[in-house]
Structure 1
Amino acid sequence: MTTTIDYGNLMHRAMRGLIQQVLTDVKESGLPGEHHFFITFDTMHPDVEIADWLSDRYPGEMTVVIQHWFDNLDVTDEGFTITLNFGDNPETLYIPYDAIKTFVDPSVEFGLRFETQNEDDASDEVAEAPMDEMVEPEDDKAPKEAEVVSLDQFRK
């Protein structure tokens, strides 16, 4: 029995579960309204499956956009598979939730950022990131600032 509650890992799982639920809804009903997603992930994660030319071009991280055209979205408990178009070249990608670094829906100014602390501490920090750090605004209106929540303040 542990002597503390691991809120960091609980939050980590909850936020990845949120992404899974959103993608499941999109698979079943499509993208509603103006919703679209920017998903940045670690291309070197051992379970990521992308074409060699993509991992060569993006050796550390890559951001994909799920908006106008996507196909074959399949969502599981561990990650999702999707076919996206790269310059008229459809490619199928498998992205495990653990490889996701950011998940942003700029249409509603929502964003999640997952940050690895350091190698000694394998837990992740989950923060709601300010939109201006993650997405360029599409017009002259400044995006609303979101509050960054650091889990470090709750750790002993």
Structure 2
Amino acid sequence: MSEDLLRYDILIQDALRGAVKKILAEVGRTGLPGDHHFYIAFDTNAPGVRISQRLKERYPQEMTIVLQHQFWDLAIGEHAFEVGLSFGGVPEKLLVPFSAIKGFFDPSVQFALEFDPGKTAEELPEELLEAVEELARAEQEHADNEARQDDGAGDKEAATADTKAKPAVQAAESSDGGGEVVSLDAFRKKT
């Protein structure tokens, strides 16, 4: 058998990521039609991913978000999408490059795509990577400043212990404002 010099596997993954991009762009323009809603799993360590330090600590490897009733400011770019979601009542803004997506699932029609993050021909623009790094540095400086100003060392230790005790599962807000927790294994079983 000859070697695949055209890299069909990469071409197909890029084409399917393009389909996810088109789906999200349509939802960004018109909203979610009917019962459609999406579970999107992504690698939190992938280049260009921007999530808060709080979410990064809670989901150090991967995360699944749910776009259903409560999300806002869905913006689709050439290489990434940005969306606002609430986690435990705290609003967050996430930036996810399409190359970081591991899975896309619409349970209303049992449609699923699975990706190998990093297996893409798409190169993220240097400006996007630099902007994400600059935001991460600014967030870290802000967190460091708040920690120095915090007089309650006991409160800080309790918050750190609480963060470490949480299981590494994926979460997003559901329509009733409560958190919906979805393990990656459960996500994969649906696909």
TM-score range, shorter chain: 0.7 to 0.9
Partner residue, 1:84? 85
Asked if residue 62 in structure 1 is aligned to residue 63 in structure 2, the reply is: yes
Q: Which one has more relative contact order, counting CA pairs under 8 Å at least 6 apart?
A: 2
Cα distance in structure 2, aligned partners of 1:85 and 1:123: 30
Q: Which letter maps to 2:25?
A: T
* Higher percent of residues as strand: 1
Partner residue, 1:12? 13
Q: 1:29 to 1:135 in 2, by over 3 A?
A: farther
Partner residue, 1:31? 32
Deviation at 1:4, TM superposition (A): 3.6
Q: Which runs of 5+ in 1 are unaligned?
A: 117-121, 125-131, 137-145, 147-156
Q: 1:133 to 1:68 in 2, by over 3 A?
A: closer
TM-score (structure 2 length as normaliser):
0.60
Cα distance in structure 2, aligned partners of 1:111 and 1:13: 15
In the TM superposition, what whole-angstrom CA distance separates every residue of 1:61-81 from its partner, at most 9, and x where no partner exists? 000000011101100110100
Q: Which runs of 5+ in 2 are unaligned?
A: 121-185
Q: 1:30 to 1:85 in 2, by over 3 A?
A: same
How large is the RMSD of aligned CA atoms in angstroms? 2.1
Cα distance in structure 1, aligned partners of 2:91 and 2:74: 13
Partner residue, 2:49? 48
Count how many residue pairs are aligned between Structure 1 and Structure 2: 124
Tell me if structure 2 keeps the 8 A contact 1:42–1:101: yes
Partner residue, 1:21? 22
Q: 1:108 to 1:41 in 2, by over 3 A?
A: same
In the TM superposition, what whole-angstrom CA distance separates every residue of 1:47-90 from its partner, at most 9, and x where no partner exists? 10000000000000000000011101100110100000112211
Tell me if structure 2 keeps the 8 A contact 1:74–1:82: yes
Q: Which letter maps to 1:13?
A: D
Runs of 4 or more, structure 1, over 4 Å off, are none
Tell me if structure 2 keeps the 8 A contact 1:106–1:135: no
TM-score (structure 1 length as normaliser):
0.73
Cα distance in structure 2, aligned partners of 1:133 and 1:90: 24
Partner residue, 1:129? none
Q: Which has the larger radius of gyration?
A: 2
Tell me if structure 2 keeps the 8 A contact 1:38–1:66: yes
Q: 1:54 to 1:123 in 2, by over 3 A?
A: closer
Q: Which letter maps to 2:188?
A: M
